[in-house]
Amino acid sequence: MTDSTEQHRHLFLVHAPDHRQARKQVTLFMEHTQLIRYHSIRIIDQEIINGSSPTFQTGISQAIAQNRAFAATLVEELAESHIHTTRDLLTIKQGYPSKLLHILTHVLDGFMGPDSAFYNLIDDSHWLSPALQKDIDAQPAEHWLVPVHPGSVERSLLHT
């Protein structure tokens, strides 16, 4: 899990007509979400990437890979608690192992948390569906990646 002192960023995917609206969508989400609250957030306009940019798809791919790696670490930690099959979930110990499972299900279900590298605001997901990829391919100029540099976590439903 992310060390609270480690500086990281969240990369948000949004559908918007322009740079300003893309930023506004992310700002409003961060201001109103009940899932996570930071003491501060910083969005640097020069880092916002339009879907027409050659770095757009690479940015998505790298951030999704980070999400998958985080989910894999949770699965590995569950395995250390002798959870190897879905049947094993019936014997999971309450405490740290059940908290890991809780966080993993939220990651898979699309709940934004401090360890989310990529967050798709269009689908409320940590992933990119084939249908959305087709939309991006058809209308790249209307899709944006908005990096958010968060301050320290004030509160989070998914923090261990």
Question: pLDDT of 71-114, one tens digit each?
Answer: 999 999 999 999 999 999 999 999 999 999 999 998 998 889 89
Half-sphere exposure of 82 (CA within 13 A, CB side): 5
Enumerate residues 6+ apart whose C-beta is below 8 A from 56.
49, 50, 140, 143, 145
| Mean pLDDT, the chain, whole residue set | 92
Enumerate residues 6+ apart whose C-beta is below 8 A from 36.
112, 113, 114, 153, 155, 156, 157, 158
Cα torsion 84, 85, 86, 90: sign: negative
Burial of 143 (0-12, 13-18, 19+ CB in 10 A): buried
Residue 133, Cα to own-chain centre: how many angstroms?
17
The model's confidence at residue 7, banded by pLDDT at 50, 70 and 90, is: low
DSSP at 101: H
